C-alpha cells in the first residue's frame, strides 16, 4: 500500500517555514490505519520489547494499538503536569527555548526492554529525551519506531544506540 498517499502536507503549520506531515488521513481510513499498525508490528516484533512508551500525543495513537498487537504493556510519556504519580523529567532544547517530558517513575519494572514510539522524528530531540526517561527508570531502550522520518534533519544521530524502525521517509 502507498502509505504516503495518506499523509497530508500542510505548509507553514504550526509556524511559517514548517511543512507539517499530517497523519490524520492515514488514521481516518480504516485500511491504511490497520495496514500501518500491522506493518509496524511486523517490523518491531523482533526487538522483543516488554513495554512500549508512546510520546504525547500522536505517539499514543500508534503506540497503544502496537502494544495491544504485540501483547505488551504501554506507558504514556507526557508534557509536564499531566501524570498524577511521581515522575522522572527530561528537558531538551528546541530551536527557541526548551521543552520537558515526564514519565511515571514506576512505569516499568527495572531492567525492562522499552520500545519508544512516536509519529515522526524530525531533529530527534523528543525521542532522545524519551530515551533519557526510560534510562532513568532503570530500563533499557529496545528500539525506536516512527511512522515518518524527516531525513534532512538527521534526527537519528541524536538517538542513543538502538535499532530505529520507520515506515516512511521524506
Catalytic residue IDs: 58, 95
Contact string 3-42 vs ligand AMP (x = CB under 6 A): ---------------xxxx---------------------
**Contact between 118 and ligand AMP per CB under 6 A:** yes
Map the footprint of ligand AMP across residues 45-74, applying CB under 6 A.
Answer: 55, 58
Would you list the DSSP string of the chain?
Answer: --GGGGPEEEET-SSTT-EEEE-HHHHHSHHHHHHHHHHHHHHHGGG--SEEEEETTHHHHHHHHHHHHHT-EEEEEB-TT---S-EEEEEEE-SSSEEEEEEETTSS-TT-EEEEEEEEESSSHHHHHHHHHHHHTT-EEEEEEEEEE-GGGTGGGGS-SS-EEEEEE-
Choices 32-40, 45-53, 71-79, 118-126; region in contact with ligand AMP by CB under 6 A: 118-126
Contact string 131-170 vs ligand AMP (x = CB under 6 A): ------------------------x---------------
**Contact between 120 and ligand AMP per CB under 6 A:** yes
Q: Would you tell me which residues interact with ligand AMP (CB under 6 A)?
A: 18-21, 55, 58, 118-126, 155
Amino acid at each position: 500500500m502507498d502509505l504516503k498517499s495518506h499523509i497530508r502536507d500542510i505548509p507553514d503549520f504550526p509556524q511559517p517555514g514548517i511543512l507539517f506531515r499530517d497523519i490524520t488521513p492515514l488514521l481516518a481510513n480504516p485500511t491504511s490505519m490497520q495496514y500501518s499498525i500491522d506493518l509496524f508490528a511486523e517490523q518491531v516484533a523482533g526487538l522483543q520489547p516488554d513495554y512500549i512508551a508512546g510520546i504525547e500525543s500522536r505517539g499514543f495513537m500508534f503506540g497503544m494499538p502496537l502494544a495491544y498487537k504485540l501483547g505488551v504493556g504501554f506507558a504514556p510519556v507526557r508534557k509536564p503536569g499531566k501524570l498524577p504519580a511521581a515522575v522522572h523529567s527530561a528537558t531538551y532544547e528546541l530551536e527557541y527555548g526548551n521543552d520537558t517530558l515526564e514519565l511515571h517513575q514506576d512505569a516499568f519494572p527495572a531492567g525492562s526492554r522499552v520500545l519508544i514510539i512516536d509519529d515522526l522524528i524530525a531533529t530527534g530531540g523528543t525521542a532522545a529525551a524519551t530515551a533519557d526517561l526510560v534510562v532513568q527508570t532503570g530500563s533499557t531502550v529496545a528500539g525506536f519506531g516512527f511512522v515518518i522520518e524527516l531525513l534532512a534533519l538527521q534526527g537519528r544521530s541524536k538517538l542513543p544506540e538502538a535499532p530505529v524502525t520507520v515506515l516512511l521517509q521524506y
